[in-house]
A and B are shown apart, each in its own frame.
Chain A
Amino acid sequence: NAGVTQTPKFQVLKTGQSMTLQCAQDMNHEYMSWYRQDPGMGLRLIHYSVGAGITDQGEVPNGYNVSRSTTEDFPLRLLSAAPSQTSVYFCASSYSGEGRMTEAFFGQGTRLTVV
């Protein structure tokens, strides 16, 4: 199993450009989420999904869109990139054990720079 795969690993965007960060998991996990990691701020939740067709906002959703058409894929779209979106982005998947969070499996991250 590949686990959680993110593409691309690195990306440089110009302000105003749009792009999609891809995330795929092969563990048949119901839950997927996107976090951004910034120095001194830890990881913050952008959006998450509890199953195909169901998404919800996290702590910092502005400027990002998500959709979940299949269990495996959870792409993150930047609508109009801004320098404040320069960050490292992590996708994660997880499953519940008796309604409780068990373990989140993370991708290797995408380092995005907006100039």
Chain B
Amino acid sequence: AQRVTQPEKLLSVFKGAPVELKCNYSYSGSPELFWYVQYSRQRLQLLLRHISRESIKGFTADLNKGETSFHLKKPFAQEEDSAMYYCALSPTGFQKLVFGTGTRLLVSP
């Protein structure tokens, strides 16, 4: 069975502090992994795909197959990063997503 675990419901940091949102997955194959973000009153949107290995808005995420993790990191948090973040997995060959329960990031001034 496929499962995505985000252990933190809420992560509260001060502006300028480093941020790490944890994501662990369970899947027997090689999944596609994503981070989606939902800002207040906006629709869910893609932040990162593991396969593209990009840095978006200062965020990076590295796939660690040994630890089955895909943690999202940013060295210096900004207030505008406050949002709900979802880690998601797409099973190989399927056009569907399995989501974690989400982590709300709150960045205070």
Task: List residues of A whose CB falls within 8 A of some B CB.
Answer: 30-31, 33, 35, 40-45, 48, 50, 58-59, 90, 92, 94, 96, 99-104, 106-109
Contacts and interface: CB of A to CB of B under 8 A. Distances in A.
19 contacts: A33-B96, A35-B99, A40-B101, A41-B101, A42-B4, A42-B99, A42-B102, A43-B44, A44-B99, A45-B97, A48-B95, A92-B44, A94-B95, A100-B32, A101-B94, A102-B49, A103-B46, A104-B36, A104-B97
B32 A42 contact: no
Contacts of B6: 42
A28 to B, nearest CB: 14
A87 B98 CA distance: 18
A52 B51 CA distance: 28
B86 interface: yes
Contacts of B51: 100
A45 B96 contact: yes
Given A40-B101, A42-B102, A48 B96 contact: yes
Nearest to B2: A59
Q: Which 10 A-B pairs have the closest CB atoms?
A: A31-B95, A101-B90, A42-B99, A42-B101, A43-B99, A106-B44, A103-B46, A106-B43, A108-B43, A48-B96
Contacts of B45: 106
B93 interface: yes
B96 to A, nearest CB: 5
B65 interface: no
B9 interface: yes
Contacts of B101: 40-42
A82 B45 CA distance: 29
Interface string B21-44: 000000000001000100000011
Contacts of A44: 99
Contacts of A35: 97, 99
